[in-house]
Amino acid sequence: MTNPLFKFDSLPDFSKIKAEHIVPAVTEQIHKNRHHLEKLLEDIDVPSWQNLIEPTSIVDRELDNLWSPVSHINSVANSNEWREQYEQCLPILTEYAAEVGQNQVLFQHYQNLAEQETLAPQQQKVIKDALLGFKLSGIDLTKDKQNRYKEIKKQLSKLSSDFSNHVLDATMAWKKLISDVADLRGIPESSLEQFAQKAEDDEQQGYLLDLQFPTYLAILTYADNRELRKELYQAYATRASEYSSNKDWDNGPLISEIMSLRQELAELLGFESYAHYSTATKMAERPDRVIAFLEELVAPSLRAAKNEIKALSEFAFKRDGLESLQAWDLSYYSELLRQQDFDISQEALRPYFPEAQVTQTLFDIAETLFAIKIELNTEVDIWHEDVRFYDIRNTNDELIARFYLDLYAREHKRGGAWMDSCRDRIEMGQIKQIPVAYLTCNFAGPSKDKPALLTHDDVLTLFHEFGHGLHHMLTQVNESQISGINGVEWDAVELPSQLMENYAYHEPSLRAMAKHYVTGEVLDDLTIQKLIEARSFQAGMFMLRQLEFALFDFRIHLEFDKHNNNYWQDILAEVRDQVNLITVPEFNRFACGFSHIFAGGYAAGYYSYKWAEVLSADVWEYFEEKGPMATDTGQHYHRCILGQGGSKPAMELFVDFRGREPTIEPLLKQQGIL
């Protein structure tokens, strides 16, 4: 029997891949790659693009293609067996990556190659990035230190994985059955149906609440029952902390351990802090620029947020005699105030955003801007019946990219929304591979008698992830190291995603997608206007929350204190003092669930969301000047930024597009903060 994971030239056979295939495939492939590299290095006399980069890229591709479905299924259809196999591979993979990154002979060849003048600019960028990668992998270190480097990497990878599992387990462990619907007053019908369905699936009667994000959000936003809001808030804010039902899930000690290892890693490589290490590969380049950038946003946001909180407090007092707003009141009263001021509610809008209609509009926009065709393909092997698959063709009817769309929340699927690569674009030697993306969301799915109906926030999320998808799929770059989102600085990578969010506020696009799922009636002009105006509703408060996360993340990586294990808690308290206008409850352990920075790639990089938002608002200003539905606009953007991947530094791409460097004003204007 051949292992189905050894399938590199087409899409993964999801239905055939079993947990027991994982470890053998990874072990064998790494063995093969290791051997291949050894042999290659023996044979090379004078390195060239053809005798070094091409063959190594081709075997790297095999490992990437093998691992992509493994890691994807681990996130979207998690099981104990799968997780166990997946985790066994992590140390093997990190060790192999570190080994390649510290290969002296390979490094020498890259250095020699860098001096050759015959390389094309894109090839030079690949070599330049690789050389920086070598440095960051500890190529210059003594043997002892290299071993320590590998050990740290391995430990960090294990800790990240534990961190993420604790959050998932703690989230799944919490359930609350409610038998009397009166306790759920205020909750919209669509959510009640979901809760009833969950109870039924669990062979219980009534309404089953859990900590999946749609449930949490529905309770916090709509439950009249303040105690219930508090209970959910507390359960969610203490996930994977010392308050968890299972003490083994406490991520607090893991955070201290992770921070200490990251600092050690940074120092090993000659950086002052992990923040210095992180910015070495980013558009911001230096920590002081990041801090200055965030501080620049704090002042105007605080000014705006103070007024917003004042209005909210007055509203809550007038309506319910509430003396002081608590953390679990914010979403609830904000939604009521939004309804009063704008007469629109996320819930009331749901019937106007049937998923199929929204997706179609999104596809139409992309088809117009980039002269492509997006077609459903039902012939492809998928991991769950809800998943859809699409082909993208250009004007010559050539297949140029493909994607999986997995939109609905379900058990054993990690929360949140993201885009990931299934296949990278590569054209080298005999190999020609088109990009394939996974687009994953966690929307409430269809019910017995209704299609999936999205909130406007869901629409934003979908457009956002599709923006990442376009970046990955419409790349024009042939070298996989710098095609799509590869080789793009982290703090610039959210530009294409956030840019697409603007279409969810673009009047003609709204008119095209906001049609009642039964009557087909278009959402009225007034409501559309209000929906657009509501974009700046509490923009200051929202900005402050993001700045809180960003400052916390960046400062704990910049100000490591080796004498105080819990220094990160002190920094959190300082940041909260600086940006919070409502006291955060003592029990709140948000850091314990902050997977982005402790289990994801955003360490000392969460600021990237804001950084890239500045870029995307500035790009959108150009779109508005030139026409957001003009193919010329789309093509100019595709030519300068979207199609370029990581082939040039992000600042250069931005200047190519805009004719100047970015400024923060378009963002502040767009949010109504200026």
Chain positions contacting Zn ion, by CB under 5 A = 494, 497
Burial of 39 (0-12, 13-18, 19+ CB in 10 A): exposed
* Residue 335 known to be catalytic: no
Distance CA 621, CA 180 (A): 51
246 touches 599 (CB < 8 A):
no
| Smallest distance, Zn ion to C-beta of residue 605, A | 12
Nearest to 331 by CA among 469, 234, 224, 217: 217
Q: Which residue is nearest to Zn ion (CB)?
A: 497
Which is closer to Zn ion, CB of 344 or CB of 460? Answer: 460
82 touches 390 (CB < 8 A):
no
Which is closer to Zn ion, CB of 352 or CB of 620? Answer: 620
DSSP state of 352: G
| Smallest distance, Zn ion to C-beta of residue 97, A | 24
Which is closer to Zn ion, CB of 312 or CB of 441? Answer: 441
Distance CA 86, CA 144 (A): 29
Which is closer to Zn ion, CB of 420 or CB of 494? Answer: 494
Distance CA 578, CA 576 (A): 5
Which is closer to Zn ion, CB of 146 or CB of 461? Answer: 461
| Smallest distance, Zn ion to C-beta of residue 566, A | 31
Which is closer to Zn ion, CB of 150 or CB of 464? Answer: 464
Distance CA 550, CA 490 (A): 14
| Smallest distance, Zn ion to C-beta of residue 468, A | 6
359 touches 441 (CB < 8 A):
no
| Smallest distance, Zn ion to C-beta of residue 494, A | 5
| Smallest distance, Zn ion to C-beta of residue 617, A | 15
| Smallest distance, Zn ion to C-beta of residue 267, A | 31
Distance CA 510, CA 531 (A): 9
What is the SS3 assignment for 204? Answer: coil
Mark residue 206 as left, alpha or beta (left: phi above 0; alpha: psi -120 to 50; beta: remaining).
Answer: left
Query: Does an H or E element contain 403, and which?
Result: strand 399-408
Q: What share of the chain is helix, strand, coil (3-state, %, to 5)?
A: 60, 10, 30
Distance CA 441, CA 76 (A): 10
H-type alpha helices, 77-142: 80-101, 104-114, 121-136
Of residues 308, 465, 613, 621, which has the active-site annotation? 465
Which is closer to Zn ion, CB of 250 or CB of 501? Answer: 501
Distance CA 571, CA 226 (A): 31
| Smallest distance, Zn ion to C-beta of residue 495, A | 10
Nearest to 404 by CA among 75, 146, 132, 116: 75
Instruction: Please give, one letter per residue, the 3-state secondary structure of 278-346.
Output: HHCCCCCCCHHHHHHHHHHHHHHHHHHHHHHHHHHHHHHHHHHCCCCCCHHHHHHHHHHHHHHHHCCCH
Which is closer to Zn ion, CB of 29 or CB of 595? Answer: 595
178 DSSP β-pair partners? 207
Distance CA 425, CA 429 (A): 13
Which is closer to Zn ion, CB of 122 or CB of 497? Answer: 497
595 touches 164 (CB < 8 A):
yes
Q: Which two tokens stand for residue 574?
A: 């300082």
221 touches 336 (CB < 8 A):
no
Distance CA 155, CA 606 (A): 22
| Smallest distance, Zn ion to C-beta of residue 418, A | 7
169 touches 412 (CB < 8 A):
no
| Smallest distance, Zn ion to C-beta of residue 464, A | 6
| Smallest distance, Zn ion to C-beta of residue 497, A | 4
Which is closer to Zn ion, CB of 259 or CB of 422? Answer: 422
Which is closer to Zn ion, CB of 329 or CB of 618? Answer: 618
420 DSSP β-pair partners? 438
Catalytic residues: 465
